[in-house]
């Protein structure tokens, strides 16, 4: 019994560590700046379990990438780039096309479809929070789920600025 609990706790620790690594890594697919590992440290010293963290996490919290709507977001948060969760910063334009994630809302335990639109026509904001989550992400043969590509591709102005997380539907889980 003790062994089981030990193993469970070990697994949880590893999950925290893994998730921290994943959401706060310094060099991701769309990260263009070396970044300090502040968020990583913040998680590593936290004794809270991952699912608790996730339920409580606010988008503006100390680890914004843990916020449930960002479960498949590889990019800079627009909410830390002058925009908001669902709106592009002034002077940028929303991508004409987007990828989609299926994320569980811990408050009602339902799965939602989240449209990740890139905001376009400017360089990224260097101080923006960079997230690197990929739940349900798939390579380009599932283009609508793919997040390693610049989704400003169909716009006239293709510079990648940041990404919004827009809940567009309830998924049939």
Site residues for other proteins, window 21-80 (CB under 8 A)? 21-22, 25-36, 71-72, 74, 80
Smallest gap from Cβ 20 to other proteins, in A, equals 11
Catalytic residue among 118, 148, 151, 172: 118
Q: Quick check: 89 and 161 in contact, CB under 8 A? A: yes
Closest CA to 146 of 77, 100, 103, 94: 100
Nearer of residues 52 and 157 to other proteins, judged by Cβ: 157
The CB-side HSE value for 79 (13 A sphere, CA atoms) comes to 19
Residues 128-157 that bind other proteins (CB under 8 A): 128, 132-145, 148-154, 156-157
* Per-residue CA distances from 81 to 84, 111, 158 (Å): 8, 27, 17
- Per the document, the length of the chain is 173
**Is 111 a known active-site residue?**
no
Least gap, CB of 137 to other proteins (angstroms)? 7
Of the candidates 40, 96, 107, 131, which one interacts with other proteins according to CB under 8 A? 96
Total site size for other proteins, rule CB under 8 A: 92
Check if 151 is active-site: no
Cite the active site residues. 99, 118
């Amino acid at each position: 019994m003790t062994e089981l609990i030990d193993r469970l706790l070990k697994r949880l620790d590893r999950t925290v560590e893994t998730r921290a690594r994943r959401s706060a890594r310094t060099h991701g697919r769309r990260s263009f700046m070396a970044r300090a590992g502040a968020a990583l440290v913040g998680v590593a010293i936290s004794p809270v379990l991952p699912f608790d963290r996730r339920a409580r996490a606010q988008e503006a919290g100390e680890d914004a990438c843990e916020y449930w709507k960002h479960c498949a977001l590889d990019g800079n948060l627009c909410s830390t780039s002058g925009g908001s969760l669902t709106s592009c910063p002034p002077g940028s334009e929303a991508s004409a096309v987007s990828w989609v994630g299926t994320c569980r809302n811990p408050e009602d335990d339902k799965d939602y479809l989240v449209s990740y639109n890139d905001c376009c026509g400017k360089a990224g904001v260097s101080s923006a929070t960079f997230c690197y989550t990929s739940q349900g992400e798939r390579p380009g043969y599932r283009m609508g789920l793919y997040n390693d590509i610049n989704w400003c591709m169909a716009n006239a102005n293709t510079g990648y600025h940041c990404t919004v997380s827009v809940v567009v539907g309830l998924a049939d889980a």
